[in-house]
Amino acid sequence: TALTQVPGGTYDLIVLANRLPVDHAVDENGRPCRRRSPGGLVTALHPIMKRRSGAWIGWHGRPGPAPAPFVHDGIHLHPIALTGDEVDGYYEGQSNGTIWPLYHDAVEQPQFHRVWQDRYRAVNRRFAEAAARVAAPGALVWVHDYHLQLVPGMLRELRPDLRIGFFLHIPFPPVELFCQMPMREEIMRGLLGADLVGFQHPQATRNFRTLAADLLGAKVTDRGIWYDGRDVAADTFPISIDVAEQQRLALDPAVRARAAEIRRELGDPRTIVLAVDRLDYTKGIECRLRAYEELLSERRLDPAQTVLVQVAVPTRQQIDQYQALRERVERAVSRINGEYAGIGRLSVHYVHQSFDRAELAALYLAADVMAVTPLRDGMNLVAKEYVATRTDGTGALVLSEFAGAAAELEEAWQVNPHDIDGLKDGIADAAEADVAEQRRRMDPMRAHLHAHDVNRWATGFMGRLDRLSRRWPRSAAA
């Protein structure tokens, strides 16, 4: 059904993302409170939206009616309501049971259900309608991530005057995988409703351009993608972190004191290996634990002098694949501790909790080796946070080639996480590196991050969108 055009509102800049930057939670006293939402998308967008007055439209994280719009940290938040069935079908189902595994190389089997697809359409339409209601004439609307791929097309029908950008935070898969998707043409048409479609990695951009040509017969040239009477630009914009803020945390005396305290609490071992991930099957946690276990067993790492801290941030806990992963990971952790720990000395400290950013920064400072070894990851901001935190150039980053960050952090110990022997060599070499070797690798990575922080990412994307839309004026604005 065609969407009817609607008049607009007052915001010149609108971000749409499945999640708002704050979630409802419960504090130590059992009282409801607001807590920052997990994940890289919120980490990246939060500082930018704080600086520019705009609106953020998203889900508040619970089924049921939406709270009234409210202001948090200077950002105008417009909650979207999802029913329980929509949380099942749109969020847990189509977004996280179909698209998430399919776009991450199908490392878990994607499930396809028609009722999930219907709910995905309905919720995407609700987001598009909400943006259409509050956007000022000619406003810039920036749609984020895999939950909302139909929104650009729907929004263009409702409000042809808007300048619409879309950014995908996760990988965009090769043609063979994408084509499994029953809604494949619909999703491509939805994305091509934007003026500018951005990806984390050049390979994702290439996959998208190939699909536009193969699946929809779009004319793809160096200049852009010509489809349905319009030009659409597709390009790579690797996301980043707020480097100055991370550095401020790293130099905060309280954070530094906490880092020293963490080392003491861990028994002052020779080597602290740290891993920080949402407890997600894309993050390669099981392969990493296997590699660590073998390194202890072969005494390439001394069990009496080595500690692994695995922070596993709770995530998507209603979904079967995540529950099964948690059980497997917790079994592996107990097995390793059973074999190699001593009384009062653990080999793996496993924490299934959320931390605040200062505690996380203290952990980064305390860690000799940071192991970021996802099987596939759009970017991975944890890797960038570790590098930015190590202001003295020490520390060793072991990084999967399958993380988007590998294209930028070339000096890390890069590993193929599927190759357990290679992974072991990477971790062992990183643990052995002297300070000169650490700095030789860390310095260029730190310089790269300074020149490519999240602000540059955002202004790069929005500036490009601005320039494009001036070149192709919209009817209502003309």
DSSP letters for 422-436 = HHHHHHHHHHH--HH
Minimum distance of ligand G6P from residue 466's CB (angstroms)? 24
Count the site residues for ligand G6P by CB under 6 A. Answer: 11
Binding to ligand G6P in span 23-42, by CB under 6 A:
38-41
The answer to the question of residue 408 lying near ligand G6P (CB under 6 A) is no
Among 139, 141, 381, 412, interactor with ligand ADP by CB under 6 A: 381
Find the binder of ligand ADP among 274, 295, 313, 369 (CB under 6 A).
313
Contact partner, 183, from ligand ADP, ligand G6P, none, Cβ < 5-8 Å per class: none
Residue 43 as a binder of ligand ADP (CB under 6 A): the answer is yes
Q: Does 355 bind ligand ADP (CB under 6 A)?
A: yes
Judging by DSSP bridges, how do beta strands 225-227 and 75-80 pair with one another? unpaired
Helix (H, G, I), strand (E, B) or coil at 111: coil
H or E element in which residue 299 lies: none
HSE (side-chain half, CA atoms, 13 Å) at 365: 26
| Interatomic CA distance for residues 146 and 457, integer angstroms | 19
> Does the protein bind ligand G6P through residue 455 (CB under 6 A)?
no
| Residue 16 phi, psi (nearest 5) | -115, 125
| Interatomic CA distance for residues 207 and 200, integer angstroms | 12
422 binds ligand G6P (CB under 6 A): no
Per rule CB under 6 A, is residue 35 in the interface with ligand ADP?
A: no
Nearer to ligand ADP, 54 or 284 (CB): 284
Establish if 39 lies at the interface with ligand ADP (CB under 6 A): yes
Select the binding partner of residue 19 from ligand G6P, ligand ADP, none (C-beta < 5 to 8 A, by kind). ligand G6P
Out of ligand ADP, ligand G6P, none, which partner does residue 60 contact, by CB within 5 to 8 A per kind? none
Copy the structure tokens of residue 5. 């055009």
Contact 417, 373 (CB under 8 A): yes
Q: In what order do the strands lie in the sheet with 163-167?
A: 70-72, 75-80, 55-59, 11-19, 135-144, 163-167, 196-199, 230-236, 225-227, 219-220
The CA distance from 475 to 478, in Å, is 5
**Type of residue found at 87:** V
Q: With binding defined as CB under 6 A, does residue 406 bind ligand ADP? A: no
Q: Distances from the Cα of 144 to the Cαs of 17, 18, 75, 322, in angstroms?
A: 5, 8, 17, 23
Closer by beta carbon to ligand ADP, 161 or else 385: 385
Stretch binding ligand ADP (CB under 6 A), from 22-30, 33-41, 414-422, 438-446: 33-41
Choose, by CB under 6 A, the member of 11, 15, 16, 19 that binds ligand G6P: 19
By CB under 6 A, residue 365 contacts ligand ADP: no
How far, in Å, are 111, 307, 460 from residue 303 at the CA level?
Answer: 41, 8, 47
Give dist(CA 312, CA 332) in Å, integer: 13
Which partner in ligand ADP, ligand G6P, none is near 145 (CB below 5 to 8 A by kind)?
ligand G6P
Residue 355 binding result from ligand ADP, ligand G6P, none, given CB thresholds of 5 to 8 Å by partner type: ligand ADP
- Contacts with ligand G6P, 153-182, as mask; x by CB under 6 A: ----------------xx------------
Q: Are strands 11-19 and 55-59 parallel, antiparallel or unpaired?
A: parallel
- CB-closest chain residue to ligand G6P: 39
Answer yes or no: are the C-beta atoms of 295 and 427 closer than 8 Å: yes
Nearer to ligand ADP, 141 or 241 (CB): 241
- Please pick, from the candidates 117, 271, 306, 380, the single residue that binds ligand ADP as defined by CB under 6 A: 380
Q: Which C-beta is closer to ligand G6P: that of 259 or that of 379?
A: 379
Two tokens at 166?
């879309």
Which residue is associated with the tokens 């005057």?
161
| Chain-centre distance for alpha carbon 35 | 18
Q: Is 278 in the site for ligand ADP (CB under 6 A)?
A: yes
- Residues known to be catalytic: 169, 377
Q: Is 145 in the site for ligand G6P (CB under 6 A)?
A: yes
Residue ranges in contact with ligand G6P by CB under 6 A:
18-19, 38-41, 145, 169-170, 315-316
Residue ranges in contact with ligand ADP by CB under 6 A:
38-40, 43, 276, 278, 311, 313, 354-355, 360, 379-382, 385
